[in-house]
Structure 1
């Protein structure tokens, strides 16, 4: 495992206040148009765009403005009365879903078939608008749309009750249950307790093992409370978002959970990134490997590698005659990746995959460093954060001349922008799969295949 200069990711965790305006509370009657990227549909009122949540395409609704000023070019609103309903409308299965309630789910008022169609339309619209590509997108159903989320972060209201924040708001809606939380999350029993002096409580229920964890973040200046659970669970202390410090502190139990995917066991520490849908790691890995078709002796890059989910199967596929460069910025994720890829403590070579190089650093800076990057790459996995990879990273990937790039995207707008950047560098989108790994929400996971453009 190699470390260039310490380049930790920095961000301002201070929450922003919800915007307001002199139009807030105004009720308007509108005809609802196409879905937009963000869990709403677009309507028009007196020449102004109105982004309406809790509505469906084709409906006529009374919408109440939740954000907006009379001078703004668009408003945000909630559909508070449905005058003409879509045939896709259903009664929301969760009692906390609806205008002014929990902001976690966006589409509980739509039939599941409609949700898949809406998400496909949103991905297609982003590709059309940002990448100038016209293609139909079919979102694939993966499993039950309920009881899937294995990692849930609860907010805490002033009385110490757990809940979820309203959409674009600090205000917490207390809940007694969550329809999309997995049974493993429920069995920890966090919702049945009070959490005075606490900012957030994250419950983690690993897939494939019985590992359970609670990440409890006290409010700034408050002490860590005594934590009890209905089942055996590790307890970790998180850091308030009102500070510039990151990471977690072990209170008792393991500082990590063991996840099982691809026939392997993975260590994921604290609040480290791991797909929240139990089927996601296997589904995404299968799609990536199918697109890339890595061969013995290939040189492979795994960029934004996290805890090594794609690096391990890539290493197995390219074999001893090949090479894998895995790059990740987050220090704890790199430590987990080192463990998962067979690196002993502080060792520079893996005992399981000696042909894997694991580098801690930002992808753009590592790709610009000739000391780390090979002269060529045959296949590349690109799994950036929600903001995307950006023009420079895309150009540097293309300069290595890979025959295939598999782009894993949780945000269709970022995917479309990066597809456009790769097109500038001579690569074209040749295949795309979309998976509903976040049912009931606006989110969708895509795996795109990009190959050298035929000229």
Structure 2
């Protein structure tokens, strides 16, 4: 008879897997949620469903089951929305098992005009819930040429992942599984031409493809130990101006995004409230794109300080902003830079801070309370907030609102067609 050793007291039996995961459900999809998924309910529980459209009835498989919500992937559309189209990326379509669908084009099965309507709904819902702001008249604007191309061919930067066997491709959605693909429909033509989709890589972890507007497209391979070739400087053109930056440095991805945001920021600034001698700021300034937008509108004597945590980006910003005698670029974390600005200022500096225009272009997580609280203590005349995440922006807008800064204008741009992402440019001033 086999002898069974009793478990030690500090050991617990392994938990049984959640029996709900893998279950297939028929769901009525009722709305859109932030993050590129749709909303349904099953026996009162919220289910976030991928690859669906509001108004559809779908068969979906549960992939995650938490107390507060479930996640599910669409397997079959039982009643289709009139806004459904063949997916722009064959490797991401419903024909594939969900685990084998390429990620990065989660709205590719939806007509472009309806994509923008869903994005508008997400923005309006976030502002209503977090900031108590009515964005009823907002429209998500398309960039020139995107409707003609069905929202493809716009990405000037693509990162491909490399699997353990050397296969290259994008990750599957919400996964680190590399999906081999034969096409990159969202990529600009110059990217598609150099994409090594059939290549096997040895010790590589990722492959970056970059197509700058001011030169040839290039490939940068990063190995599994994090090493890569020495940084190569590239040039991006916006109108008549050139910007130098590192090949893997931050730059807007859509080939027309930099010009769109330059114009939008210039339009958002109230010229009557702008003082070129004030302590104007460009926070999270990168290589100086938006500081240059301010300088180009208000002249070479404009004083503006661009603050960026990346030292290489700051070095490029100093070079890119050299046309303006009052411009400077500082390397610092924004939360550290703004801390104590008001408290340590002289009377003259406090006056310049109160007259300032602040351009704020934070990462996807938003600026956050630490930055907003310190910033409003300086009392700037106006804030131009550029946001790539509507929920993070709405939370920050609520903080600004509590300090007496309201949204005076808001524009939304579809800088990322066939994905759920949307870009906002807001003008905030004191009540």
Give yes or no for TM over 0.5. Answer: yes
1:410 to 388, 391, 397: 388
2:400 to 410, 422, 426: 422
The number of residues matched between the two structures is 394
Rg larger for? 2
Deviation at 1:217, TM superposition (A): 1.1
SS in structure 2 of the partner of residue 148 of structure 1: coil
Deviation at 1:333, TM superposition (A): 1.2
Deviation at 1:286, TM superposition (A): 0.7
The reply on whether 1:364 has 2:361 as its aligned counterpart is no
**In terms of mean alpha carbon deviation, does 354-363 or 419-428 score higher?**
354-363
The reply on whether 1:210 has 2:215 as its aligned counterpart is yes
The reply on whether 1:197 has 2:212 as its aligned counterpart is no
**In terms of mean alpha carbon deviation, does 294-303 or 431-440 score higher?**
294-303
Which residues of 2 match residues 99-178 of structure 1 at below 5 A? 99-100=98-99, 101-136=101-136, 137-142=138-143, 143-144=145-146, 145-178=151-184
**In terms of mean alpha carbon deviation, does 311-320 or 408-417 score higher?**
311-320
Instruction: Determine the structure 2 residue equivalent to 1:74.
Output: 69
Paired residues of 2:180 and 2:197 also in contact (CA < 8 A)? no
Deviations 1:178-224 (A, max 9, x none): 110001112224224221221110100002x223222211123xxxx
Q: C-alpha separation between the residues in 2 aligned to 1:318 and 1:298?
A: 11
SS in structure 1 of the partner of residue 391 of structure 2: helix
Which residues of 2 match residues 30-41 of structure 1 at below 5 A? 30-41=27-38
- Root-mean-square deviation (Å): 1.9
Q: C-alpha separation between the residues in 1 aligned to 2:340 and 2:317?
A: 21
2:245 to 268, 272, 277: 268
Paired residues of 2:265 and 2:293 also in contact (CA < 8 A)? no
**In terms of mean alpha carbon deviation, does 314-323 or 285-294 score higher?**
314-323
Instruction: Determine the structure 1 residue equivalent to 2:265.
Output: 288
2:54 to 49, 52, 57: 57
Unaligned runs of 5+ in 1: 1-19, 221-238, 241-247, 343-351
Paired residues of 1:94 and 1:108 also in contact (CA < 8 A)? yes
Paired residues of 2:301 and 2:325 also in contact (CA < 8 A)? no
TM-score between both structures, scaled by the size of structure 1? 0.83
Deviation at 1:80, TM superposition (A): 0.7
Instruction: Determine the structure 1 residue equivalent to 2:276.
Output: 297
Instruction: Determine the structure 2 residue equivalent to 1:92.
Output: 87
More helix by share: 2
Paired residues of 1:298 and 1:318 also in contact (CA < 8 A)? no
Q: C-alpha separation between the residues in 2 aligned to 1:200 and 1:372?
A: 46
Deviation at 1:262, TM superposition (A): 3.5
Q: C-alpha separation between the residues in 2 aligned to 1:298 and 1:97?
A: 52
SS in structure 1 of the partner of residue 197 of structure 2: helix
SS in structure 1 of the partner of residue 248 of structure 2: coil
SS in structure 1 of the partner of residue 25 of structure 2: strand
The reply on whether 1:44 has 2:41 as its aligned counterpart is yes
Unaligned runs of 5+ in 2: 1-16
Q: C-alpha separation between the residues in 1 aligned to 2:397 and 2:39?
A: 25
